[in-house]
């Protein structure tokens, strides 16, 4: 994106840059696990996690940390990984070898630093770039798997004690594409979501992108928006017509 921006400087071409993301989600204390865990899983592993606005970091209160981790791992273990034409397959491959190697590297790095891989965590022993859905616990900010965008079928869970601290940690990333807050108290969740440093903030959902609502990021995730009226206006240049009325 930076190279595109440099190339566009020669004739001052206007840009909309929708770049990478490392979307954080905060689950508020007391959130019923069964009510949200399936939606959280789908948001994280949409297109095998190969989506710019997929949920990529999950902050869970320490009182429910293990319960959420085990529930997510149970869903992950039910998935069938394989080629799209194989019957019953729910998870396909990673798009290319370089990305497969990056995902493997990030998981191996987390494991070497004491993280626990609850399921998955290794390339499948078959032709193709297949990596199973992977849930990782025992990681925190500072681990590569948390700080970098994995863009693959891996979800790290980070425990927190204080919601304000979780918010600070969620905002510490240089990226700011999307983010979300999950909880029964919608007013509280909305108040916290409004403090996320992201172009889009969702409440009790994630990666809900619609053609009638603007979508875009901030910080190193780019600028400008796509979709909605605002997205159409990105392609226009306003002109002011100023006319002084003659007096007789």
- The reply to whether 146 falls in a domain is yes
On the question of pLDDT at 248 being above 80, the answer is no
Average confidence (pLDDT) over 88-101: 96
- The reply to whether 166 falls in a domain is yes
On the question of pLDDT at 246 being above 90, the answer is no
On the question of pLDDT at 18 being above 90, the answer is yes
- The reply to whether 47 falls in a domain is yes
Average confidence (pLDDT) over 147-163: 98
- The reply to whether 167 falls in a domain is yes
pLDDT bin (cut points 50, 70, 90) of residue 247 is: confident
Strand 57-61 and strand 24-27: the pairing is parallel
Average confidence (pLDDT) over 206-223: 96
On the question of pLDDT at 142 being above 90, the answer is yes
Work out the mean pLDDT of the chain and round it to a whole number. 96
- The reply to whether 247 falls in a domain is no
Give catalytic residue positions: 18, 52
DSSP classification of residue 81: B
- Cα 183 to Cα 214: distance, rounded to the nearest angstrom: 24
Where would I find the beta strands (DSSP E) of 126-232?
134-137, 154-160, 175-176, 178-182, 200-203, 218-219, 222-223
Distances in Å between the Cα of 4 and the Cα atoms of 1, 15, 19, 53, 219 are 5, 9, 11, 21, 16
pLDDT above 90: percentage of residues in the chain: 98
- The reply to whether 1 falls in a domain is no
Task: With CA atoms as reference, report the closest residue to 59 among 151, 175, 139.
Answer: 139
On the question of pLDDT at 71 being above 90, the answer is yes
CB-based burial, 51-90: b 16+ in 10 Å, e otherwise: bbbbbbbbbbbeebbeebbebbbebbeebebbeeeeeeee
Our count of domains for the chain comes to 1
CATH code: domain of residue 122: 3.40.309.10
Identify the domain containing residue 62 by its residue range: 19-233
- The reply to whether 184 falls in a domain is yes
Claim: this prediction has a pTM higher than 0.85: yes
- The reply to whether 11 falls in a domain is no
**Residue 213's pLDDT is what?**
95
């Amino acid at each position: 994106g930076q190279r595109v921006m440099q190339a566009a400087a020669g004739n001052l071409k206007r840009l909309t840059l929708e770049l990478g993301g490392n979307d954080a989600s905060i689950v508020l204390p007391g959130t019923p696990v069964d009510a949200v865990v399936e939606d959280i899983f789908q948001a994280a592993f949409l297109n095998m996690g190969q989506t710019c606005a997929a949920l990529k970091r999950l902050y869970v209160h320490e009182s429910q940390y293990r319960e959420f981790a085990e529930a997510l791992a149970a869903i992950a273990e039910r998935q069938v990984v394989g080629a799209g034409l194989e019957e019953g397959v729910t998870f396909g491959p990673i798009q290319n070898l370089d990305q497969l190697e990056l995902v493997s590297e990030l998981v191996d790095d987390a494991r070497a630093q004491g993280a626990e891989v609850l399921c998955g965590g290794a390339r499948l022993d078959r032709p193709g770039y297949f990596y199973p859905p992977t849930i990782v616990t025992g990681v925190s900010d500072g681990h590569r798997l948390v700080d970098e965008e994995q863009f693959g079928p891996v979800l790290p869970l980070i425990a927190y004690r204080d919601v304000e601290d979780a918010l600070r940690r969620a905002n510490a990333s240089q990226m700011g594409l999307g983010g979300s807050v999950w909880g029964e108290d919608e007013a509280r969740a909305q108040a916290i979501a409004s403090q996320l440093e992201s172009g889009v903030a969702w409440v009790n959902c994630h990666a809900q992108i619609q053609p009638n609502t603007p979508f875009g990021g901030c910080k190193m995730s780019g600028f400008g928006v796509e979709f909605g009226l605002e997205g159409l206006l990105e392609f226009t240049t306003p002109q002011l017509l100023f006319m002084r009325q003659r007096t007789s």
